[in-house]
Amino acid sequence: MHDAVLRIAGLRTQFRTRQGTVDAVSDVSFDVRRGETVALVGESGSGKSVTALSVLQLLESTGSIADGSIVFDGRELVGLSEKEMRDVRGREISMIFQDPSTCLDPVFTIEDQLVEALTIHGTARSDARGRALELLRMVRMPDPETRLNAYPHELSGGQRQRAMIATALALDPQLIIADEPTTALDVTVQAQILDLIRTLQAETGAAVLFVTHDLGVVAEIADRVVVMYAGRVVEQGSVFQVLKDPRNPYTAALLASMPGAVAGTGQRLTPIEGVVPSLLDMPSGCRFAPRCPHAWDRCHEADPPLAAFDLNRESRCWLEVDGAVDGVGTAEVVG
């Protein structure tokens, strides 16, 4: 077996709503190996952020893990007490969030917030101050001495995200979960931050679980990719394989809807028709069937299993199970 730092198996996370309990994600399984970057990809509402938050058990109070296992570094996290989870958070697994303008506490300085990340886990205050400056240098913060005493509102979006990344790196975690860390930033800044994350990962050797909806970002940063749709994993494999030769109709549709695929060719983008189904009203068969150009009777009747093929590649589609391995979109299969 390969050396997984994080192994999620059969994860089901529920939310209590007025209409009853719903599964935001179910039957989610994937691994993150030491030092690798795994991209978790999907549309809004696909459950990718819920999956990420489940790992650290930072879900809102209405959400909870109902089933499954999350093994980190050989240790089961599901079922740990809140106090035991606190020791994991920030020290062994840290997290970078989407919008750096709302994710830093506005009334404390950058130094306070960096020092706090260290002292919570027992670093002496005097050592923490020196380490804070070191961390800002690590994330290439311009003029780090001055920025230490700045408040979040005095920094630009990119600088704030650098400060967030510095906080995440504070205790040299084995795994960093980045939840859409570039989505709220300007395009030019996005590239810088991606570059920074890549460089820092090479320097620190931490594994990264990178949550994003942007396949362009995936190609730049990830080793492997896990595609989610409506609370399920629908495809996973190496970035090269998945982007070049998607096996699942959903992944294929997602790729076709990307501007990059047809940029400069003058062709129109291909949108995915319809919307992601509501968690309260899931289709009985395959969850993508109502929007799938290849769906046939069976797809509406039964939910396909996640089928493994090749080494380390999986896809959730009846096309795989039925042995139609020629790939999607071929007329023979659909007919």
Q: How far is the CB of 270 from another protein (least distance, A)?
A: 34
Asked whether position 99 contacts another protein by CB under 8 A, the answer is yes
Asked whether position 37 contacts another protein by CB under 8 A, the answer is no
State the binding string over 107-126 for another protein (x if CB under 8 A, else -).
xx-------xx--xx-----
Tokens 């039964």 found at: 302
Q: How far is the CB of 28 from another protein (least distance, A)?
A: 20
Stretch near another protein under the rule CB under 8 A, chosen from 81-89, 216-224, 236-244, 297-305: 81-89
Q: What is the DSSP letter of 3?
A: -
Q: How far is the CB of 153 from another protein (least distance, A)?
A: 5
204-222 core/surface letters (b: 16 or more CB in 10 A; e: else): bebbbbbbbbbbebbbbbb
Asked whether position 106 contacts another protein by CB under 8 A, the answer is yes
Asked whether position 89 contacts another protein by CB under 8 A, the answer is yes
Nearer to another protein, 94 or 315 (CB): 94
* Site residues (CB under 8 A) for another protein, limited to 151-180: 151, 153-154, 164, 167
Q: Which one of 88, 136, 200, 286 is in contact with another protein (CB under 8 A)? A: 88
Asked whether position 105 contacts another protein by CB under 8 A, the answer is yes
What number of chain residues touch another protein (CB under 8 A)? Answer: 29
* Site residues (CB under 8 A) for another protein, limited to 44-73: 56, 58, 60
Alpha carbon 237 to chain centroid distance? 15
Q: How far is the CB of 88 from another protein (least distance, A)?
A: 7
Q: How far is the CB of 39 from another protein (least distance, A)?
A: 20
CB distance 42 to 213 below 8 Å: yes
What string of DSSP letters covers 179-243? ESTTTTS-HHHHHHHHHHHHHHHHHH--EEEEEES-HHHHHHH-SEEEEEETTEEEEEEEHHHHH
Cα 52–Cα 213–Cα 220 angle in degrees, nearest 5: 100
Asked whether position 97 contacts another protein by CB under 8 A, the answer is yes
Q: Which one of 11, 39, 77, 95 is in contact with another protein (CB under 8 A)? A: 95
Cα 38–Cα 245–Cα 217 angle in degrees, nearest 5: 40
Q: What is the DSSP letter of 153?
A: G
Q: How many helices (H) and strands (E) does the chain have?
A: 15, 12
Q: How far is the CB of 199 from another protein (least distance, A)?
A: 22
Beta bridge partners of 232: 229
3-state DSSP assignment of residue 50? helix
Query: Which residues lie closer than 8 Å to 226 by C-beta, 6 or more apart?
Result: 30, 38, 39, 40, 41, 233, 235, 236
Q: Which one of 19, 21, 102, 199 is in contact with another protein (CB under 8 A)? A: 102
Stretch near another protein under the rule CB under 8 A, chosen from 43-51, 66-74, 95-103, 218-226: 95-103
Backbone angles phi, psi at 104, to 5 degrees: -105, 140
Q: How far is the CB of 97 from another protein (least distance, A)?
A: 6
d(CA 30, CA 55): 12
Q: What is the DSSP letter of 89?
A: B
Asked whether position 94 contacts another protein by CB under 8 A, the answer is yes
Q: Given the rule CB under 8 A, which residues bind another protein?
A: 56, 58, 60, 86-91, 94-95, 97, 99, 102-108, 116-117, 120-121, 151, 153-154, 164, 167
